Chains A and B, each alone.
Chain A
């Protein structure tokens, strides 16, 4: 007998010490009867991944997707578009409040 076989034999003896408690034996018996009757396991916990995925999609749909346009880039508001496409320098818009105030002062 090789050393691998001896080692495997020792592990087999240890694994054979596993026992099954009574509730599990009864659950197995019920599972067997259900299988023979063609019934599936109830498996409520199998819905956990699907629920998590649905939650993730909901978060994406409600919070993240509306921030993106059809081409995958962040959605641009109409006001922003006017600023971007205008021939005036961007600094003009940065100082817009000042110019409004200045114009009001001039008119007074």
Chain B
């Protein structure tokens, strides 16, 4: 199990970081997912650990999104508002990324404009190169829903980014 987690932790963190845009929350999500895998599925066949880990992580991200919505609702209700913490996080993240890689920043910004399900479907299908079936299992949705979310994500990203000048030609 230690070896599996060591091999998976960095990609899981980048996945969580891309979806939450918050380092601390991403770290906690990955640790929670690791803990659940260890506690509940340690005795399963190691071949099952990958799909299970993906599923736990993406369920965690979904819960995180729900909590963020609730938190935003509460913040809006409170009489003393201190600005939009999520907006600030996106700005800080974008600033850091811009220093490192303009093309990457554009992609991350465009992705942030997609609904969560489309982001997840895109990351699992295009980035992690999972099959439609594996993605459906990770997201606990049907294969047809994966196809729909993925197609919409690609269309939206294409319209936001365009086909040219993505910053991937000068490596």
**Chain A residues packing against B (C-beta within 8 Å):** 4, 7-20, 24-25, 27-29, 31-32, 34-36, 38-41, 43, 45-46, 48-49, 52-53, 55-56, 59
Residues from chain B with Cβ under 8 Å of A11 in the complex: 107, 126-127, 157, 166
Residues of B with C-beta under 8 A to A38: 35, 38-39
- A17 pairs with B101, CB closer than 8 A: yes
The answer to whether B35 touches A40, judged by C-beta atoms less than 8 angstroms apart, is: yes
Q: How far is the CA of A18 from the CA of B104 in the complex (A)?
A: 8
12 residue pairs from A and B, CB less than 8 Å apart: A9-B126, A12-B127, A14-B103, A15-B104, A16-B127, A17-B104, A24-B23, A24-B27, A28-B9, A35-B31, A40-B31, A41-B32
Q: How many residues of B contact A (CB 8 A)?
A: 51
Q: Are B27 and A13 in contact (CB under 8 A)?
A: no
Knowing A17-B101, A36-B38, say if A10 contacts B14 (CB, 8 Å).
no
In the complex, residue of chain B having the shortest beta-carbon distance to the beta carbon of A49: B71
Q: Select which of B30, B71, B79, B127 is within 8 A of A31 by beta carbon.
A: B30
Residue from the list B75, B163, B166 in contact with A14, Cβ < 8 A: B166
Closest residue of chain B to A42 (Cβ to Cβ) is B28
Nearest residue in A to B171 (C-beta to C-beta)? A13
Interfacial chain B residues near A10, Cβ < 8 Å: 166, 168
Is residue B1 contacting chain A, with contact meaning CB distance below 8 A? yes
Given contacts A11-B157, A14-B168, A45-B24, contact A32 B2 (CB under 8 A): yes
Q: Is the CB of B78 within 8 A of A35?
A: no
Chain B residues, Cβ within 8 Å of A24:
13, 23, 27
Is B167 in the interface zone, CB < 8 Å from A? yes
CB-based A-B contact count at 8 angstroms: 113
Q: Mark B56-85, 1 if CB is under 8 A from A, else 0.
A: 000000000001001100110111000000
Main secondary structure of the interface of A (DSSP, over half): helix
Which of B27, B71, B101, B123 gathers most chain A CB within 10 Å?
Answer: B27
Residues of B within 8 A of A18 (CB): 14, 17-18, 104
Q: 18 additional contacts, CB 8 Å, given A11-B166, A12-B129, A27-B27?
A: A7-B163, A12-B127, A14-B107, A18-B18, A28-B9, A28-B30, A29-B9, A32-B2, A32-B34, A35-B37, A36-B5, A38-B38, A41-B31, A45-B25, A49-B70, A49-B71, A52-B75, A56-B77
- A-side contacts of B30, CB under 8 Å: 28, 31
Closest to B36 in A: A35
Contacts of A27 in B (CB 8 A): 27
Assembled-state Cα–Cα distance A36/B154 (Å): 37
Contact indicator B154/A31 (Cβ below 8 Å): no
